[in-house]
Amino acid sequence: MGPLSLTLSVVVPIYNEEAVLPLLVERLRPVLDELREPYEVVAVDDGSSDGSAAVLIGLARLWPELRIVRLRRNSGHQAALSAGLFRSRGEYVASIDADLQDPPEKIPEMLRLARTENLDIVYGVRTDRSTDNRFKRWTAGAYYDLIRRLVGKNVPRHAGDFRLLSRSTVEALRELPERAPVLRLMVPWIGFPSGQVTYTRAERAAGQTKYPLRKMLLLAVDSVTSFSAAPLRLATWLGVGGVGLCALLLVMTMVVYLSGHTVPGWSSLFVATLFIGAVQLLCLGLLGEYVGRVYTAVQNRPPYFIASDSAALAAEDDGLV
C-alpha cells in the first residue's frame, strides 16, 4: 500500500473516553463508509487510565480501518493530536474530538469543499455554542479575542480542533519544532488557502470534560507565549509607567519638603514601595513565561512517546517492515 493510497485519515484524540467510544464508532463509521474511498481512523489513546484501551481493541476487531496509536502516558490534547497527525497517511487528514461535540457528518462536507475549491485547510467553525455553559462561552470568547489581537486576524473565531488538512499542510506543520504545540494557531500561521464549514456544537455524548479550568488556562498561556512577545512589551510599558509615577512622587516630595512642612512620609513611601514591588513581580512573571519556553525548547524533549501503533504492527505481520 503506497503512502497516499488512503484518501482520508480521521484523527481522534482519546483520554478516558470509554463511555463515548462505542457511540463515536456508531456515528463515525457509516459516514466514512459512505464515502466509498479508502480511509483510516487514527485513534490516539492519550494514556487513558480507564477502559478506553480495551474498548478500542474490541472496536478495532470489528472495524479494520480503525487504527490505534497508544501514547505511553497522558501527554495532553494538543500533543495527542500532533501524534495522530504525524502518523496519519491519508491525502487529507481530519481531526475530531471523541465526545461527538463535533458532528462527524461534516467531514464529507469538509472533504468536498477542500477538493472543489482546492483548499489546504477547512476549519470547522462553531456558530452556536448554546450547549456550552455561560462560563465556557465567555472564556472562549475572551480567548479568541485575545488571540486574534496578538496572533492575527486570520485565526478564525470559534474554530477549535475540528478541521481538515491537506497532506502538504501536515508536512508543513511537521517543520514547526514546537514543544508545546497549539495546533489551532499553528495551522492559520502556516497560511495556506483555507475555507470554513459551520456547525452547531453539541452536548458531550457521554463522560466528563477532560478540560478543567487549569488546562484551559495553560492552553491560553501556551497560545499567547508561543505566538507573541507582546506581553513582554507590556511589561516594558508598565515599567515606563511606574518610572513616570515615581518621578511625579519625587517632585511632590520635593515640593512638600521645600515648603517647610514636616512630612509624615510614611504613606507615600509605603505606596511607592508596594507599587514598584508589584510592577517588578509582574515583569518577572512575564519574563519567566518566556524563559520557561526557552528552557523547554533547549531541553528539546519529545512531547509524546508512542507505545504502539496497530498499523505498524500489522505491517510487521505482513513482513513489510
Q: Which amino acid is at 257?
A: Y
C-alpha to C-alpha distance for 145 and 142, rounded to whole angstroms = 5
User: How many residues make up the chain in this entry?
Assistant: 321
Comparison of 211 and 270: residue with beta carbon closer to Mg ion: 211
* CA 232 – CA 130 distance, rounded (Å): 36
**Shortest Å distance, C-beta 204 to Mg ion:** 5
The entry of ligand UDP, Mg ion, none near residue 205 (CB within 5 to 8 angstroms by kind) is none
Pairing of strands 121-128, 92-95: unpaired
- Residue 45 lies near Mg ion (rule: CB under 5 A): no
Q: What is the DSSP string of 173-234?
A: HHT---SS--HHHHHHHH---EEEEEEEPPPPSSS--S--HHHHHHHHHHHHHHH--HHHHH
Residues in contact with ligand UDP by the rule CB under 6 A: 13-15, 17, 46, 74, 76-77, 80, 97-99, 101, 209-211
Question: Nearest distance from residue 82's CB to ligand UDP, in Å?
Answer: 11
Q: Which is nearer to ligand UDP, 101 or 226 (CB)?
A: 101
Measured distance CA(201)–CA(145) in Å, rounded? 19
Q: Which one, 144 or 227, has the nearer CB to Mg ion?
A: 144
Residue 77 beta carbon to ligand UDP: minimum distance, rounded to whole angstroms: 4
Candidate list 17, 99, 120, 132; residue touching Mg ion; CB under 5 A: 99
Q: Which residues contact 238 (CB under 8 A, 6 or more apart)?
A: 279, 282, 283
Does residue 9 belong to the site contacting Mg ion (CB under 5 A)? no
Residue 166 binding Mg ion, by CB under 5 A = no
Task: Choose among ligand UDP, Mg ion, none what residue 178 binds, the Cβ cut-off being 5 to 8 Å by kind.
Answer: none
Least Cβ distance, residue 31 to ligand UDP (angstroms): 17
CA distance 95 to 115: 17
Contact footprint for Mg ion (CB under 5 A): 97, 99, 101
